[in-house]
């Protein structure tokens, strides 16, 4: 029985150290340039790979998503790097079938909704299709609830389908297709 308690304590220490390590690296993002951020996000993604469901729930709180949104707004975190991190989080959220309302309650969700709509409304020549697809993927994978805004559905579904039908065979494109298909699976019936 005492070995069980020792194992349990060791597990708790490991869990805390992953969460603390993630938090430490995440807090360093604000003071890094874009390339250093990219490296730190790779490190955070490696930590996420090792996390279990409880650790992910404990780490990705409304406060963390709000902080990320603030960092993006203040240009302390590049959108490109934020998307890499958020796609990774969304992937694990879907993979582990996690229900977590943190993103739904965050200001970052509202920011993404606004960005998706604004990007979609740009003229064809000005529209960044890659950014729009990335935003839609992050939004749908991190969102728990039915997407009740018809306007967002009418943007995200065609955008994700467009990415999903790419037939190129290079590894990067294949990963984009897989992420788009995964994001589409996050849309639930009865959403309209």
What are the tokens at 88?
């990774």
Please report, to the nearest 10 degrees, the dihedral formed by the alpha carbons of residues 70, 88, 177, 150 taken in order. -50
pLDDT confidence of residue 2: 46
What's the mean per-residue pLDDT of the chain?
84
What is the band of 6 on the pLDDT scale with cuts at 50, 70, 90? low
Please report the pLDDT score of residue 96 as a whole number. Answer: 84
Q: Please say whether the dihedral angle defined by the alpha carbons of residues 41, 20, 8 and 62, taken in this order, is positive or negative.
A: negative
Residue (of 59, 79, 57, 77) closest to 18 by Cα position: 59
Q: Which pLDDT value is given to residue 1?
A: 44
Place of tokens 């490696």: 46
* Burial class of 1 by CB neighbour count within 10 A (0 to 12, 13 to 18, 19+): exposed
Rounded Cα distance between 9 and 1, Å, is: 13
pLDDT of residue 14: 53
pLDDT(51) > 50: yes
Global pTM value: 0.79
Tell me how far apart the alpha carbons of residues 130 and 108 are, in angstroms, rounded to a whole number: 19
């Amino acid at each position: 029985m005492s070995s069980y308690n020792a194992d349990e304590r060791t597990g708790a220490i490991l869990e805390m150290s992953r969460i603390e390590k993630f938090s430490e690296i995440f807090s360093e993002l604000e003071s890094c340039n874009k390339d250093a951020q990219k490296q730190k996000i790779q490190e955070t993604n490696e930590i996420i790979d090792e996390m279990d469901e409880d650790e992910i729930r404990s780490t990705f709180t409304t406060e963390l998503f709000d902080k990320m949104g603030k960092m993006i707004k203040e240009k302390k975190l590049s959108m490109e790097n934020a998307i890499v991190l958020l796609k990774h989080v969304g992937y694990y959220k879907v993979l582990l079938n996690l229900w977590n309302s943190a993103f739904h309650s965050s200001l970052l969700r509202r920011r993404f909704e606004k960005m998706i709509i604004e990007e979609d409304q740009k003229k064809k020549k000005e529209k960044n299709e890659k950014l729009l697809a990335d935003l839609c993927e992050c939004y749908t994978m991190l969102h728990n609830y039915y997407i009740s805004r018809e306007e967002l559905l009418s943007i995200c579904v065609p955008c994700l389908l467009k990415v999903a039908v790419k037939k190129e065979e290079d590894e990067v494109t294949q990963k984009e297709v897989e992420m788009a298909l995964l994001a589409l699976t996050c849309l639930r019936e009865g959403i309209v």
